[in-house]
A and B are shown apart, each in its own frame.
Chain A
Amino acid sequence: MLEIKNLMAKVEGKNILKGINLRVKPGEVHAIMGPNGSGKSTLASVLVGRSAYEITGGEVLFEGKDLLALKAEERARAGVFLAFQYPVEIPGVNCTYFLKMALNEIRKSRGLEPLDAVDFLALMKEKMKYLELSESLLSRAVNEGFSGGEKKRNEVFQMAILDPKLAILDETDSGLDIDALKVVAEGVNRLKRPDNAQIVITHYQRLLDYIVPDFVHVLYNGRIVKSGGKDLALELEERGYDWIISAVSEAAPN
């Protein structure tokens, strides 16, 4: 589904990604972990087409197509979704209206008829239950005045409505208490199917207690320095990142 080959990127003249390689197949959940500043969020931003980042090398194929050649909105329509680490507030734009516009834009690009208000409302009601989102929240402006937890739940709710092929969750656990974390993780798990995939970016292992990954990758200094199964996350929880970092530094001092 997704194939990242030797991806390099910089922002404001600084090299952040220094050759990322990653393959994600349908039905898989990949966790990307790593210390702060290792390039995790940059990777997410580059994949969804934030133009502040300059691609300096490598390629990314999404379902065989050159993802990097697409505009941000085209990537979204192709089925790439980002649950933002810091969802932005859009005052004056109603949550429901926003999501209906987005869904119908995506449907249009796939040659589907737009959903009318009645059908859309029915879809919303169905998806809302899992995320314990109140209806009153969705009649407000996008993210405006939402608590941190509400914003994150709203991200996963949007993911549920838009039904992406590849969902990237950028530090979705940050700022959540344990109950909210469970709700969000539960929501994400429900969306897992054999024909879609998830990339979960996180600093801490605790999210991976609830969203169980098939693969865990450690990102450090712009490269994936270690990959493994879900046990790697547990090991990281116990031992921290230092042992990997020092191993890497010894192998390739720079």
Chain B
Amino acid sequence: MDNGTDALNSFVQSEYKYGFVTDVEVDAVAPGLNEDVIRLISRKKQEPEFLLEWRLKAYRHWLTMKEPTWPNVKYPPINYQDIVYYSAPKKSGEGPKNLSEVDPKILETYNKLGIPLHEQERLAGVAVDAVFDSVSVATTFRGKLSELGIIFCSFSEAVQHHPDLIKKYLGSVVPYTDNFFTALNSAVFSDGSFCYIPKGVRCPMELSTYFRINAANTGQFERTLIVAEDGSTVSYLEGCTAPMRDNNQLHAAVVELLALDNANIKYSTVQNWYPGDAEGKGGIFNFVTKRGLAKGINSKISWTQVETGSAITWKYPSVVLLGENSIGEFYSVALTNHYQQADTGTKMIHVGRNTRSTIVSKGISAGRGQNSYRGLVRVQKSAVGARNFSQCDSLLLGDKCGAHTFPYIEVRNPTARVEHEASTSRIGEDQIFYCNQRGLPTQDAVNMIVNGYCKEVFKQLPMEFAVEAQKLLGVSLEGSVG
């Protein structure tokens, strides 16, 4: 009835800008999952025996598990036998050694997405390990990093060149038994990123991976492992977009972070996968397990995420605070528009003495989006002097969306201090009108209010990502206001 409502409603209707499919020859395995498929994946990737065994153990465990039903999301049942578990861009002989050897069509895709790899090498100071479907096709800056002893490569390469590190750390933070999707991922993961920062090294640049889902019906099962040795520091950026599709695509990634004594890992994500169309058709199912183990004393792990994509998100980047004085942080903006559903939050598990954690979660619901925050703060008996501060805010645009909060607090040590603040607000028509009366158009007003609301999270992002995140939020909210 008011400007506000119409604007809010029309604001939520904009097309996904990255909806295109690149025509690349695909080397794919037939749909379905059994031990033979797993052996085939492992053979194609020329993996050592221990890894195949690990995959098979994971698969056998997965068979005993049931898909979780507790998340506050609804979707049709997934037939795991309809999914293609391996696909890679065809290589003629050897894989590309540098960008000029990369399939021009793939490069074109990146360019459409605004990720000019050629320029990035020179300009951005960002090392990009670009994952196209399941296999890494280009890696930059590796030379510079290797001078410092930093290993930053695709997971497959790490398996070939650093099998001892993989054997030692794979599954050490997220065991394959952890949940249904980690078991599945462990059995069939195709590729991902590996990063190892040696003792005392401060990684001189932001590390970044751009994921992209491309081949139809290919579930992507990424595996990321970051190990920060004593006294090292690393900031890792993950950003993604995906082409438009009709079929829902399953994405079940696992990210493991390990921080040893005095190490510092910052992991930032801007996620913009295809959310489905305005009617809720299509879109990515994003069922991800992300966990960091702050194992060493004074170690720190910080998650920052800006999530605007995916039809369904199920994701709880967590920190296990094992080391004395270790710190865990979680800063999140999760936006659901149209028919998107998100059940996301974090877990902070305090084990060590004087461990501290901070949670800042900003949920935004528009259209018919459903946004749930689910967070666990657990203080174990051993965690003397543990502290947590949680702030959990929800913002509603329009009257057909929903915001839900499920905070779990378990404290087993009397010296712990746990604070939880929560708020729910709505962008009111009166707020939008106030902006209009000062000369601002409705969409600018909404963007301004939403950006203001997310400020605390954005300022945790590295500069270039913060700008991207603001733009992304603007694009994702287009047509959401009435």
Contacts of B463 in A (CB 8 A): none
Q: Are B439 and A91 in touch, CB under 8 angstroms? A: no
Q: Are B440 and A105 in touch, CB under 8 angstroms? A: yes
Q: Are A88 and B434 in touch, CB under 8 angstroms? A: yes
Alpha-carbon gap, A91 to B435, bound state (A): 13
User: Is B280 in the interface zone, CB < 8 Å from A?
Assistant: no
Contacts of B431 in A (CB 8 A): 88-90
Alpha-carbon gap, A88 to B453, bound state (A): 16
Interface string of B437-454 (1 = CB under 8 A from A): 111111010001101111
Alpha-carbon gap, A231 to B449, bound state (A): 45
**Residue in chain A with minimal CB distance to B450:** A92
**Residue in chain A with minimal CB distance to B425:** A91
User: Is B1 in the interface zone, CB < 8 Å from A?
Assistant: yes
Alpha-carbon gap, A115 to B2, bound state (A): 32
Alpha-carbon gap, A229 to B434, bound state (A): 32
Interface string of A178-197 (1 = CB under 8 A from B): 00000000000000000000
Alpha-carbon gap, A105 to B430, bound state (A): 20
Chain A residues numbered 81-129 whose CB sits less than 8 Å from any CB in chain B: 81-82, 84, 87-94, 97-99, 101-103, 105-106, 109
Q: Are B449 and A90 in touch, CB under 8 angstroms? A: yes
User: Is B169 in the interface zone, CB < 8 Å from A?
Assistant: no
Alpha-carbon gap, A52 to B1, bound state (A): 6
Contacts of B430 in A (CB 8 A): 88
A87's partner among B2, B434, B449 (CB-CB below 8 A) is B434
Q: Are B434 and A76 in touch, CB under 8 angstroms? A: no
Smallest distance from the beta carbon of B90 to chain A beta carbons, Å? Answer: 49
Q: A87-B434, A88-B431, A106-B439 in contact; A51/B452 too (CB < 8 A)?
A: no
**Residue in chain B with minimal CB distance to A158:** B438
Q: Are A102 and B440 in touch, CB under 8 angstroms? A: yes
**Residue in chain B with minimal CB distance to A142:** B434
**Residue in chain B with minimal CB distance to A108:** B439
Q: A50-B2, A92-B455 in contact; A76/B448 too (CB < 8 A)?
A: no
Interface string of A69-84 (1 = CB under 8 A from B): 0011101110001101
Contacts of A106 in B (CB 8 A): 439
Interface string of B1-20 (1 = CB under 8 A from A): 11100100000000000000
Smallest distance from the beta carbon of B331 to chain A beta carbons, Å? Answer: 15
Alpha-carbon gap, A93 to B444, bound state (A): 12
Alpha-carbon gap, A209 to B232, bound state (A): 70
Q: Are B3 and A77 in touch, CB under 8 angstroms? A: no
Interface string of A42-83 (1 = CB under 8 A from B): 000000111110000000000000000001110111000110
Alpha-carbon gap, A98 to B435, bound state (A): 9
**Residue in chain A with minimal CB distance to B434:** A88
Contacts of B179 in A (CB 8 A): none
Smallest distance from the beta carbon of B434 to chain A beta carbons, Å? Answer: 5
**Residue in chain A with minimal CB distance to B4:** A51
Q: Are A77 and B439 in touch, CB under 8 angstroms? A: yes
User: Is A162 in the interface zone, CB < 8 Å from B?
Assistant: yes
Contacts of B444 in A (CB 8 A): 101, 105
Alpha-carbon gap, A48 to B452, bound state (A): 26
Q: Are A90 and B452 in touch, CB under 8 angstroms? A: yes
User: Is A141 in the interface zone, CB < 8 Å from B?
Assistant: yes
**Residue in chain B with minimal CB distance to A141:** B452
Contacts of B435 in A (CB 8 A): 73, 90, 98, 102
Q: A50-B433, A51-B2 in contact; A92/B439 too (CB < 8 A)?
A: no
Alpha-carbon gap, A82 to B434, bound state (A): 9
Q: Are A94 and B434 in touch, CB under 8 angstroms? A: no
User: Is B282 in the interface zone, CB < 8 Å from A?
Assistant: no
Q: Are A72 and B448 in touch, CB under 8 angstroms? A: no
Q: A51-B2, A88-B434 in contact; A73/B439 too (CB < 8 A)?
A: yes
Smallest distance from the beta carbon of B108 to chain A beta carbons, Å? Answer: 36
Contacts of A88 in B (CB 8 A): 428, 430-431, 434
Alpha-carbon gap, A247 to B206, bound state (A): 78
Alpha-carbon gap, A87 to B438, bound state (A): 12
Alpha-carbon gap, A74 to B424, bound state (A): 32
Smallest distance from the beta carbon of B428 to chain A beta carbons, Å? Answer: 7
Contacts of B413 in A (CB 8 A): none
**Residue in chain B with minimal CB distance to A86:** B430
Q: Are A82 and B425 in touch, CB under 8 angstroms? A: no
Most A CB contacts (10 A, CB to CB) among B6, B431, B435, B444 go to B435
Cβ-closest 7 pairs across A and B: A92-B452, A102-B438, A72-B436, A93-B452, A76-B439, A105-B439, A92-B453
Q: Which residues of B contact A (CB under 8 A)?
A: 1-3, 6, 425, 428, 430-431, 433-442, 444, 448-449, 451-455
Q: A71-B436, A90-B452, A91-B425 are in contact. List 18 more A-B contacts (CB 8 A).
A: A49-B3, A50-B2, A50-B3, A50-B433, A51-B2, A72-B436, A73-B440, A73-B441, A76-B436, A82-B437, A88-B430, A90-B431, A92-B453, A101-B444, A102-B435, A102-B439, A102-B440, A106-B439
* A-B residue pairs in contact (CB < 8 Å), sample of 25: A49-B436, A49-B437, A50-B2, A50-B3, A51-B1, A52-B2, A71-B3, A72-B437, A73-B435, A73-B440, A73-B441, A73-B442, A75-B437, A77-B439, A81-B437, A88-B430, A92-B451, A92-B454, A94-B452, A99-B438, A101-B448, A102-B435, A102-B439, A105-B441, A109-B439
Q: Which residues of A contact B (CB under 8 A)?
A: 48-52, 71-73, 75-77, 81-82, 84, 87-94, 97-99, 101-103, 105-106, 109, 141, 158, 162
